Amino acid sequence: MTINSSNGAVAEVRLVTSSRGIRDGSHKWQTDEKFSRQNGDVMYSGIPDNIAMSHESLLDTLYSSKVYAKIWNVASQALTKSQPPVLHPEYTKPGGTEYVYRELDFWTSGFFPGSLYLLLERERRYKSTVLNWAPDTTITPHQMQLEFACKWWTVNLHQNAYLATTHDLGFMIFPWAQKAWELNRDQDAYDTIIQASETLASRYVARVGAIRSWDTCITKRYAFTDPQKDFLLVIDNMMNLDMLFWAASELNDKEMYQIAVNHARTTQQFHVRKDFSTTHLTVFDPDTGALKSKLTNQGFNDNSSWTRGQAWAIAGFMQTYNWTQDISFLETAQSCADYFWGQLPANGIPLWDFNAPKDIQQPPDTSAAVVASYGMLLMHEALIGRNQPSAYFDRALHILKGVCSIHLNMPDEFVVSLSKIDTAEMASDNSQHEVRVRHGNGIPETILGGATINNYEFAPRRWANHGLVYADYYFLLAGNKLLEMDSMESATKNAI
């Protein structure tokens, strides 16, 4: 990689970026990507890193108590109820502020409790780092309150492990149950993951070599209503393999492992195009395994690149590589990420579809942005582990900076209400106080705006430019991945 300095000198450099270098902007360069400086802006593939946010400000934003307060504001509303939640937040309406809720068996039900568990992970594993990177996090609810909220919001979700009508069990179960097991050794959560994985594997059809995504699908343009005639497969399904691989590893189940590998290979073959954009939906003959058609269900058209689908491919193939160490999955993830990066506008925020007409204003999709950034962090980690050059750490940060600079909603904040309690000895105890959220009128309940569930013109219903629960979840997950990378680097240095 060449750097053109201010005096015209050219140098070959490589980039090895760790999360420790984020705060002060210090990086080691180890990449073969074209790089130059123009007017003080770092340029990658024509995209200037001129977003008005420093590395320090990014960390302050990612780990601020104001982000915690957004999640706690919604979570605490359920804690005074007589029964645990059976409805879970999904999205805010375009222009709206309050969450719209869905039934517990809807595919997004696992993301909000998953967000709670990500906050708990920060408390348990990375508290000192978070305090160092975002000093305003000293005032938050007691950890035991957060632990209770995690349990309260998930007690009704275990039953979803038996849902044999969906491929989304990885989304519905793994975001919270994996953390419940890792952090608490929660046996119920462990059993739920195993059951959900067995249920998911039961949707595998050997002739196709994949796990069935949807049983039916109806739009204003086409309808698939008979699973005996049509096998539907979507790119999103790559993200559910992580749970399947995890369970296969725990059980030493070679058949389950092979199901996940076969699914990834089928997706790789039929969903990834020659230019490494991706097809959203493929339809197969379930009896012969023959491909019948390639369509979109949420993108601009059948041949376009729906950006969240592209992001699912990046993260999903990276997760699959991490489990299999099959270099082809890493290469596919890289190529999909390079395509994604090459289509981004300068601000780092993808539109909902890379091929949507540019002559009219198109809505963004921050959920695609944060999923892709998470996948790029996984990619950077894998490449550095292989002693290969990586530009993906800085790409991930560029995207996160864009999201934080443009689509961060107005904050909530924690406030402390002090109370004075008289004791029997006529003394006073001033140590008791309540931590609550100050949530202003007209402020959205989500951390981020600018997400787009579905803007396909033939969709039964279209939502664009709004808050979305899984945009917030992957925003938090990317933050936790940075914390994990920093922790691993520290442990390695201490061992040396």
Q: Which is catalytic among the residues 168, 230, 394, 412?
A: 168
Give the pLDDT score at 139: 86
Give the pLDDT score at 43: 32
pTM of model > 0.85: yes
Helix/strand/coil (H, E, C) string of the chain?
Answer: CEEECCCCCEEECEEECCHHHCCCCCCEEECCCCEEEECCEEEECCEECCCCCCHHHHHHHHCCHHHHHHHHHHHHHHHCCCCCCCEEEEEECCCCCCEEEEECCCCCCCHHHHHHHHHHHHHHHCHHHHHHHCHHHHCCCCHHHHHHHHHHCCCCCHHHHHCCCCCCHHHHHHHHHHHHHHHHCCHHHHHHHHHHHHHHHCCEECCCCEECCECCEECCCCEECCCCCCEEEEHHHHHHHHHHHHHHHHHCCHHHHHHHHHHHHHHHHHHECCCCCECCEEEECCCCCCEEEEECCCCCCCCCCEHHHHHHHHHHHHHHHHHHCCHHHHHHHHHHHHHHHHHCCCCCCCECECCCCCCCCCCECHHHHHHHHHHHHHHHHHHHHCCCCCCHHHHHHHHHHHHHHHCECCCCEEEEEECCEECCCCCEECCCEEEEEECCCCCCCCCECCECCECCCCCCCCECCECEHHHHHHHHHHHHHHHHHHHHHHHHHHHC
Total number of domains constituting the chain:
1
Q: Which is catalytic among the residues 186, 236, 412, 486?
A: 236
Whole-angstrom distance, CA of residue 231 vs CA of residue 267: 13
> Is position 215 annotated as part of the catalytic site?
no
Give the pLDDT score at 490: 67
Mean pLDDT by 10 residues, the chain (496 residues): 32 37 43 33 39 86 95 97 98 96 98 99 96 86 96 99 98 99 99 99 99 98 98 99 99 99 99 99 98 98 98 99 99 99 97 95 98 99 96 97 96 83 64 81 96 98 96 99 87 54
> Is position 365 annotated as part of the catalytic site?
no
Question: Cα-Cα-Cα-Cα dihedral of 263, 266, 271, 275, to 10°?
Answer: 120
Range of the domain at 200: 2-495
Give the pLDDT score at 428: 60
CA distances from 354 to 277, 304, 310, 365, 398 (A): 9, 7, 10, 11, 18
Q: What is the CATH number of the domain that holds 247?
A: 1.50.10.10
